[in-house]
Every structure is written in C-alpha cells, then in structure tokens.
C-alpha cells in the first residue's frame, strides 16, 4: 500500500534565578561554520521555539557562537535536579568494524523526559547498555540506581551511575562498566570539533522552559573491549556522543522527531528532523551535519529550514505488534545552498536496537495530560540503518553508502502512516 510521504522545510542553563552554572574557566575547542535558521525573537529579545542564534540568546546561556567549552558537557541540570520534570542524559553509540553496535547511556531519569507529570518516584539515575550483534541479537542492561550511586561534575563530563562511568574532555572519552556478564571498556577519540546548532537551547514560549542538545563528539574513532555472556573481545570502529537535557516533558511540545547518524567512508553525517506541536508554532526543524573525518573539516553545518528538506518515506509494519500504525523506515535529507548540495538517505535494516512504549500504565494525572494533548500513545524506536550519500559542496564531490543508526520518537500517532493491510 502506498502512502503520501511526510515532508518538512524546515538544559542546565536557564535564567540566573534558576541557578545559572557557567564555570569561570574552561578549555575551548573548534569553530563551526553554521548557517542559522531565521528564527523569530519574542518581545524579550530571545528566540522562542527554535534554537537561539542571536547575540542575546548566546548571552542568556553564557555560550559563544565560535567555540565550545568543557563545562558544556557537564551536569547541566544540577541546580534543578530536584524538579521531577528536569531530565538529562549522556548518550553514546558505536558501530564496530565487524558490525557490532553498542549503545551506552547514563541518565538522571528512567523515562528521559518522555512522560509528563513526573513525580518524586520518577527521579532516579539510570544506565542503559545495549550490545547488538551483527545477526541482530541484543544483550542489554537497563537499570535504575539510587542518588547515592550517582555523581557528576558540573565543569566537565565526569558521570558515574553505579558501576558505570562516562568521562571525557571534548576530545577523548572513556566509557566503562559491568553488570553481570555484560561489560564495556571503550575509548572514543574525536575526529572533528563538537557541534551545537546555535546555542543548542530551544526555549519554549518563554525563557523558563527549555530543551537543549550538544553533540560533543559528532564522529570519532572507538577502541577497547566489550564483554558479552562473560566473554571479552576487542572492539574497533566508529563512535558518537551527545548530551541532552531540559525541564519540559517532550510530550508537551514535540509531535515527533527523527534523528540519525553514521559514516560513509571518511564522511560522518548527522541528520535531525524535529517537529513541534501547534502550541509551539508547529515548526519543522531540520539539521544536517557533514564532516570530513580525515581532514577534520566541517563541510555542512546547517539548521536553516530554507536550505534543508527532510522527507519521511517507506511506511512499514512496526516490529512490535502493539504499535497501532505503520512507521516510516526511511528519512531523506536534502541540502541546497547556492551551488552546494548534499543528500543523506537513511533506511532502517532488520536489526532492531530498541523499541519501547511509554505511558503503558499512566497515572490519573498523566492520563488527563494525554487527553488534553490528544496523545494516544508514546513510542521510541531505534534501528541499525543503511546510509546513501551524495555530496557536492565545499569544493568536494563524493557519493557512497555507509551505515549507522536511526531513531523515531513519536508522541501520539497522528503523524504516523496508517497501518497496512496484511
């Protein structure tokens, strides 16, 4: 059955009254030749419902448009961690030369801000470690801990949850830990500079409500060991690390998002398609990043909806029969800026990394919020993906195929394709 494709054109740093954490000294790295989305400033001068890119936006959160600092990867919600709605996670994934995929996350909330009306019982640090074999077999540890088992620095990435640690300085990171017969000890060495679109902060109708994203290592070399079923083996490949935080549950402001990343020979790519609810301008917000990992040169770093289209294609049955509709297995990003052009097409393979339904047993308050928002279900799905790549930009021309990961976060099924008839 054919369906119409879906197409778009497309934190702790809050105000001083909420506890601004900006260490006085920090190491700085890199520069990003970004093209900014136009953005519309609200009356107070700050950009709303899209990432800030104006001088007032950078001043608001103590950031520079031209360099990155180690504290940006520190504990950003430290001053508001007592708020159940605040969330934060440090994420990494690795694709091995042998096809093994590793996903490792340390977090401050079990539901990662996916569920509204959180309570004190929902405040708990946790870990997610998933190792996917080349044949698609998954091995995982998903576990919550107490706050006595959690430490994190505010001036750099140095996080511990139980026996797991995540440490780094924007150049080199080490992720370690073991639970039962599953363990990792991986080092990620960055091949390019960090990236954030503008400030990385998306203030939501005002400057007290936000969501933020920072890609500390858009592409890096990975090496070390993984242990599966008690058997340790060497791991070598490519890796990625980003950092997310905020204080508004995603269901309140997001319709859905697509995010993917991967490598094609020397080129590393990140594609994002982030779509907000009508209460937040119904905006469609694409991002495309293309780096040359041999030279370290940033070829494309755009979050301009005038330059990027992101189209979802190829509706398929979801791997979980409880999923009420089909889902789009392909996202096609296209970039055009003058004579520069690029195309990145990500398509899910049969190797499912994770599929999770949230709010399966909502509280009365959560059910009331879902009814108010018109949300029936909330799902998160991530697959291994193949990548098609075309580049004619920055004086370079290249085509090729690669691999990576692609995710879909869906807050309500309204924008999903209809369920196909068997």
At 193-235, the pLDDT tens digits run 999 999 999 999 988 999 999 999 999 999 999 999 999 999 9
pLDDT given for residue 27 in this prediction: 33
Q: What is the pLDDT of residue 113?
A: 97
In a domain, 312, yes or no: yes
Query: What are the DSSP calls for 137-179, one per residue?
Result: -EEEEEEE--GGGEEE-SSSEEEEETTEEEEE-SSEEEEEEEE
Size (the chain), residues: 422
With respect to residue 130, please indicate whether it lies within any of the assigned structural domains: yes
Does 422 map to a domain?
A: no
pLDDT at position 18: 32
**Domain range holding 381?**
6-411
What was the pLDDT predicted at 37? 46
**pLDDT at 170 (0 to 100):** 99
pLDDT at 35: 38
Q: Is residue 171 part of a domain?
A: yes
The domain total for the chain is 1
Residue 229 is assigned to a structural domain of this protein: yes
Q: What is the CATH number of the domain that holds 234?
A: 2.40.370.10
Would you say residue 361 lies in a domain? yes
**Is residue 416 assigned to a domain?**
no
d(CA 137, CA 119): 35
Q: What is the pLDDT of residue 1?
A: 46
304 φ, ψ (degrees, to nearest 5): -100, 115
- The residue ranges of the chain whose pLDDT is under 70 are 1-44, 422
Which residue's structure tokens are 């599966």?
228
Asked, for residue 123, whether it belongs to a domain, the answer is yes
**How far apart are the C-alpha atoms of 160 and 176, rounded to whole Å?**
10
């Amino acid at each position: 059955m054919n369906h119409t494709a879906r197409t778009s054109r497309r934190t702790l740093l809050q105000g001083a009254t909420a506890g601004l954490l900006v260490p006085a000294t920090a190491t700085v790295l890199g520069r990003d030749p970004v093209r900014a989305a136009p953005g519309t400033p609200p009356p107070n001068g700050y950009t709303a419902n899209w990432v800030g890119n104006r001088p007032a936006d950078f001043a608001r959160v103590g950031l520079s448009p031209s360099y990155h600092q180690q504290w940006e990867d520190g504990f950003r919600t430290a001053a508001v961690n007592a708020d159940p709605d605040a969330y934060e996670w440090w994420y990494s994934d690795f694709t091995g030369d042998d096809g093994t995929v590793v996903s490792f996350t340390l977090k401050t909330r079990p539901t990662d801000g996916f569920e509204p009306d959180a309570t004190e019982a929902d405040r708990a640090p946790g870990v997610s470690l998933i190792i996917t074999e080349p044949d698609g077999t998954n091995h995982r540890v998903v576990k919550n801990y107490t706050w006595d088992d959690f430490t994190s620095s505010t001036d750099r990435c140095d996080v511990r949850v139980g026996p797991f640690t995540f440490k780094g300085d924007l150049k080199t990171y080490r992720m370690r830990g073991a639970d039962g017969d599953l363990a990792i000890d991986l080092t990620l060495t960055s091949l390019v500079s960090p990236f954030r679109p503008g400030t990385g902060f998306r203030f939501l109708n005002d400057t007290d409500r936000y969501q933020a994203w920072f890609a500390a290592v858009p592409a890096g070399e990975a090496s070390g060991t993984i242990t599966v079923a008690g058997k340790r083996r060497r791991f070598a490949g490519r890796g990625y690390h980003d950092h997310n935080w905020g204080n508004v549950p995603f269901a309140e402001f997001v319709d859905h998002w697509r995010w993917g990343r991967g490598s094609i020979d020397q080129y590393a790519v990140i594609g994002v398609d982030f779509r907000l609810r009508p209460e937040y301008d119904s905006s469609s917000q694409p991002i495309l990043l293309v780096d040359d990992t041999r030279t370290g040169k940033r070829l494309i770093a755009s979050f301009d909806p005038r330059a990027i289209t992101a189209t979802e294609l190829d509706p398929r049955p979801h791997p979980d029969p409880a999923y009420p509709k089909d889902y789009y297995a392909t996202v096609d990003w296209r970039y055009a800026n003058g004579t520069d052009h690029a195309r990145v097409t990500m398509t899910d393979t049969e190797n499912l990394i994770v599929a999770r339904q949230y709010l399966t047993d909502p509280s009365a308050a959560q059910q009331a919020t879902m009814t108010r928002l018109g949300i029936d279900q909330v799902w998160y799905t991530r697959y291994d993906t193949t990548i098609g790549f075309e580049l004619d930009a920055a004086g370079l021309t290249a085509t090729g195929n690669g691999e990576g990961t692609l995710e879909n976060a869906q807050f309500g099924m309204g924008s999903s394709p209809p369920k196909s008839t068997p």
